[in-house]
Amino acid sequence: MASSSKIKVLAITCKLGAVSFKQLHRIFNSDFHRVHLYRLLNGLMKKGYIKRVSLPLRIQGAFIATDAGRQIVYGKMSLRDFNTKEQELYHTLAVGNAVIEFSQYSNIKNITVEHELGSAQLNELIVDRRPDAILTVSKNNIATKIALEVELSRKTEERIEKILAAYDVSFSSNLHCKGVVIVVYPNDTYKLYSRLLLKRSKELREKVLLIRPNELIQLKEDTFGKRLAPVTFNVTPMVQSNMHSIIGI
């Protein structure tokens, strides 16, 4: 059981890129007591599969996978290097929060995060954008790919115009991505997004869902399905297929 539990914790840490103890406890709340989770994390750190990084504005910091840990989970796949700069870590944790929230909706069947997206796969989805994640939404046995973008920092008007233009081109090009959810933290950036989106075509506006972080818990049921409890977070099949190869963990 301990080995299986460590595998789950390592897989989630690798998938999210960076994860706080609070996030892990929420994901595994029904499986592990807090003390047990701490022991699992300590065991993974002693093995050299994850490490703890401190964040100035967070007492507990966060956990990230080491190269050895990512090698175990993803095998020899060519993944983008994870950026451990402070601002990137805060953004990654914010993306993790969004991913965890989306995982609670019944119509979300898979979530592929940014570093799991290969170039070929990305080219089939979007033009000139690398979203934070791709959500696979299944409704009436029809699967639809929707991009997820999390805006943690302020954006200029020029930058937002460029983002909206990229999705406009992608949707009109009939690529696999059929919509985008943009979660915006800064209030002024949210207002700027809203104003600039109103200037765009009705077709684009219908495919862009602009929300604030607190709205993640009340998404439209007709699109995303019912909100489930507790969190039903699953690693991707790509990660699951490599689990049997973990030895001595």
User: Are 111 and 23 in the same domain?
Assistant: no
The predicted-structure confidence for 176-188, as pLDDT tens digits, reads as follows 999 999 999 999 9
Is the pLDDT at 199 greater than 80? The verdict is yes
* CA atoms of 161 and 192, how far apart (whole Å): 10
Residues 51 and 121 in one domain: no
Confidence check: pLDDT of 80 > 70: no
pLDDT of residue 240: 47
Q: Provide the domain limits for residue 113.
A: 105-224
Q: Which residues does residue 110 pair with via DSSP β-bridges, in sequence order?
A: 136
Q: Which residues pair with 216 in a beta bridge?
A: none
**Residue 230 lies inside a defined structural domain of this protein:** no
> Is 0.85 topped by the overall pTM?
yes
Q: Is 160 domain-assigned? A: yes
pLDDT at residue 202 above 50?
Answer: yes
State yes or no: pLDDT of 79 exceeds 80.
no
User: Same domain, yes or no, for 118 and 207?
Assistant: yes
pLDDT at position 124 = 94
Domain CATH code at residue 69 = 1.10.10.10
Percent of the chain with pLDDT over 90: 66
Residue 19 domain-assigned? yes
64 strand-pairing partners: 51
Residue 1 has pLDDT above 90, yes or no: no
As a whole number of angstroms, the distance between CA 135 and CA 237 comes to 14
Any domain includes 99: no
Residues 33 and 116 in one domain: no
Residue 241 has pLDDT above 60, yes or no: no
140's torsion region: left (phi>0), alpha (psi -120 to 50) or beta?
left
Residue (of 193, 208, 201) closest to 156 by Cα position = 193
Residue 32 shares a structural domain with residue 114 = no
| pLDDT computed for residue 238 by the predictor | 46
Q: Are residues 118 and 218 in the same domain?
A: yes
Q: What is the mean pLDDT of residues 11-32?
A: 88
Q: What is the pLDDT of residue 235?
A: 54
Is residue 90 domain-resident?
A: no
Whether 68 and 142 share a structural domain: no
Q: Write the pLDDT tens digit of every residue in 208-226.
A: 999 999 999 999 999 999 9
Please, are residues 93 and 63 in contact by the beta-carbon 8 Å criterion?
no
For 113-154, what is each residue's pLDDT tens digit? 998 888 899 999 999 999 999 999 999 889 999 999 999 999
Are residues 67 and 167 located together in one domain of the fold?
Answer: no
Can you give the pLDDT at residue 32? 74
Mean pLDDT of the chain: 87
Residue 96 in any domain: the answer is: no
Question: Where would I find the H helices in the chain?
Answer: 2-16, 21-27, 34-47, 67-74, 86-102, 119-123, 157-172, 187-198, 202-205, 221-224, 237-240
Q: Is residue 110 domain-shared with residue 195, that is, in the same domain? A: yes
The whole-number pLDDT of residue 118 equals 87
Confidence of residue 244 (pLDDT cuts 50, 70, 90): very low
42 is a domain residue: yes
Domain count, the chain: 2
Q: Say yes or no to pLDDT of 94 above 80.
A: yes
Residue 125 within any structural domain of the chain:
yes
Let me know: does 166 contact 128? Beta carbons within 8 Å.
Answer: yes
Tell me, yes or no, whether 144 and 212 share the same domain: yes
**pLDDT per residue as tens digits for the range 44-72:** 999 999 999 987 766 568 999 998 898 88
